[in-house]
Amino acid sequence: AQSVTQPDIHITVSEGASLELRCNYSYGATPYLFWYVQSPGQGLQLLLKYFSGDTLVQGIKGFEAEFKRSQSSFNLRKPSVHWSDAAEYFCAVGAHNAGNNRKLIWGLGTSLAVNP
């Protein structure tokens, strides 16, 4: 079955420290992978996406993610975290259902807290 796992429910880092949020997926075909961020009381904003080509993708706000097919992972990274990065982060995989309709399958999210 198609699924997305974000192993870390909550992470706390200090401002200026590096960050890595984990995402593992289960999908039979070539995955289309996304990371979204949701700030408190806000909608979801796309950080970056992977479809093909270079396995290291750059996104907005200084984030990057690396697709590793052998590990079925798409981990999100940032070299230096800012206090404004505190938010909920969701990994998602784009899939087709039996009717060939496109849909996103979401992880449960990782809540990031940033200490000053």
Partner 1 sequence: DTGVSQDPRHKITKRGQNVTFRCDPISEHNRLYWYRQTLGQGPEFLTYFQNEAQLEKSRLLSDRFSAERPKGSFSTLEIQRTEQGDSAMYLCASSLNRGWGTGELFFGEGSRLTVL
Interaction of residue 46 with partner 1, rule CB under 8 A: yes
90, 46 Cβ separation under 8 angstroms: no
Interaction of residue 43 with partner 1, rule CB under 8 A: yes
The least CB distance from residue 85 to partner 1, in Å, is 19
DSSP 69: G
Interaction of residue 35 with partner 1, rule CB under 8 A: no
Interaction of residue 60 with partner 1, rule CB under 8 A: no
Which one of residues 1, 28, 40, 41 is an interface residue with partner 1 (CB under 8 A)? 41
- Residue linked to tokens 């992880």: 107
The least CB distance from residue 20 to partner 1, in Å, is 19
Interaction of residue 32 with partner 1, rule CB under 8 A: yes
Among candidates 64, 41, 45, 40, which has minimal Cα distance to 54?
64
User: How many Å apart are CA 92 and CA 59, to the nearest integer?
Assistant: 15
